[in-house]
Structure 1
């Protein structure tokens, strides 16, 4: 019986070594500098955790280590949308964007204000707006029926109005059709095809706003430079 128990514990220990999850294997590959192998496992994990900001963050880290600053920035940006308060995500996104000549904080906007604007995730802000709306409705009903609580009702109305305005601005930001240059260089052409002349070349990591599409081309605006034109779809990564 004693030998049987020893054998059982030995087998459990042996199988535990090989029972690592894909995520654990990915972390091990990353520590060993095998970034391509780690990337494949992180992307596999993304299929079952499509809204996990840290999976996107890890994918961004792999691309960053592999020198693909554009794809790194795209995945950091996806992580930032889901977890905007995370300091590591914010710092790595800023670093990847700066490598391409971009800045996370728009020119003229104080960094403190930018952090405050993204202090809540989109879903958190949406939930807060809904809570304030129902609180205002409840307080308004009390005031209409009993003529009591006028000041607190007014305060709730003001808070809801401010939060609703904040949510509206965030909604515009969240739904903006952003993309990033993923190729080493993207040629901006005057029309959707190689028969149109190139008006500019943009390095990887630059942020773009997608305006239109035709066949294998996107009409874009380079956010930092205000350049408008057409770029091949293969040269950019939509966020």
Structure 2
């Protein structure tokens, strides 16, 4: 199971800047030479990015994510920026979207949305003269159930649910211990109803996120084919396009476009958000 490590942006940056200078290497060797410290990898990735070595910076950020299974909006933000600067706009969109799914702080979220829009506009210019970046957004996830259950992000929703549930239990216990405090019993009813509604929203988020597996085309040579083989008839699909993932195996992924058309893409060319 992957370790979930979401930190506030300021805390993460301050923590990592206090760690020692990295040893330059590659992949797992670099992590070993760094004494197992993620901070050294982060420093090295930042150095490469500031030096304009964007491909190497992207690999370094990816090493940090893969070696330590860290999922953090700041790390994904930087990784997306490195891919953007390297011209890998599909991968940039992927990591901007992954970062936004982690409920980042407002300042990080604003930067992510601005960069996401910039990547989509760049690809729109490449593929269509109209410059309509909305063509890259898979719209089915904006249905009623999705909207109703995603009014709040998962983290704040879970916090509010926990507070209401603890409040309900506290009021219920107080009322049982002190039957004369009728207000406690009356207050427990709306607390229970709100906790139930928020619990349903949490379930709805888990359900819709699992059923609406959205991916991003991360290469500029992807082809949507009618079957799971290279000779199957197909058509090119643009880099950065968001699709719904229907079925996956190690070699091929079945996807659905926003217009409902389904087909198969080589698995390494589409990544799940």
Q: Which has the higher strand share?
A: 1
**Structure 1, unpaired ranges of 5+:** 1-17
Residue number in structure 2 paired with 1:177: 213
Query: What is the alpha-carbon distance in structure 1 between the residues aligned to residue 250 and residue 41 of structure 2?
Result: 37
Query: What is the alpha-carbon distance in structure 2 between the residues aligned to residue 189 and residue 49 of structure 1?
Result: 33
1:231 counterpart (249, 260, 265) = 265
Q: Is the 8 A contact 1:94 1:104 kept in 2?
A: no
1:91 lines up with 2:114 in the alignment:
yes
Residue number in structure 2 paired with 1:38: 57
1:105-124 to structure 2, matched below 5 A, reads 117=150, 119-120=152-153, 122-124=154-156
Query: What is the alpha-carbon distance in structure 1 between the residues aligned to residue 202 and residue 141 of structure 2?
Result: 22
1:60 lines up with 2:100 in the alignment:
no
Residue number in structure 2 paired with 1:140: 172
- Give the C-alpha shift of residue 118 in structure 1: 6.0
The Cα offsets for residues 200-219 of structure 1, whole Å up to 9 and x where unpaired, read as 43101111221113461111
- Give the C-alpha shift of residue 105 in structure 1: 7.6
> Is the partner of 1:218 in helix, strand or coil?
strand
> Is the partner of 2:263 in helix, strand or coil?
strand
Query: What is the alpha-carbon distance in structure 2 between the residues aligned to residue 164 and residue 192 of structure 1?
Result: 40
- Give the C-alpha shift of residue 140 in structure 1: 3.1
Query: What is the alpha-carbon distance in structure 2 between the residues aligned to residue 221 and residue 144 of structure 1?
Result: 54
How many corresponding residue pairs?
Answer: 216
Q: CA RMSD in A?
A: 3.1
- Give the C-alpha shift of residue 108 in structure 1: 7.6
Query: What is the alpha-carbon distance in structure 2 between the residues aligned to residue 67 and residue 92 of structure 1?
Result: 13
2:70 counterpart (42, 50, 54) = 50
Task: Judge which range, 18-27 or 62-71, deviates more.
Answer: 18-27
Query: What is the alpha-carbon distance in structure 1 between the residues aligned to residue 60 and residue 141 of structure 2?
Result: 37
TM-score normalised by L of structure 1 = 0.75
Query: What is the alpha-carbon distance in structure 2 between the residues aligned to residue 157 and residue 167 of structure 1?
Result: 15
Query: What is the alpha-carbon distance in structure 2 between the residues aligned to residue 212 and residue 108 of structure 1?
Result: 21
> Is the partner of 1:179 in helix, strand or coil?
strand
Q: Is the 8 A contact 2:250 2:267 kept in 1?
A: no
TM-score normalised by L of structure 2 = 0.67
Change (3 A) 1:105 1:139: farther
Q: Is the 8 A contact 1:142 1:148 kept in 2?
A: no
**Structure 2, unpaired ranges of 5+:** 1-19, 23-39, 125-134
1:190-205 to structure 2, matched below 5 A, reads 190-198=226-234, 200-205=235-240
Change (3 A) 1:118 1:201: farther
Q: Is the 8 A contact 1:93 1:104 kept in 2?
A: no
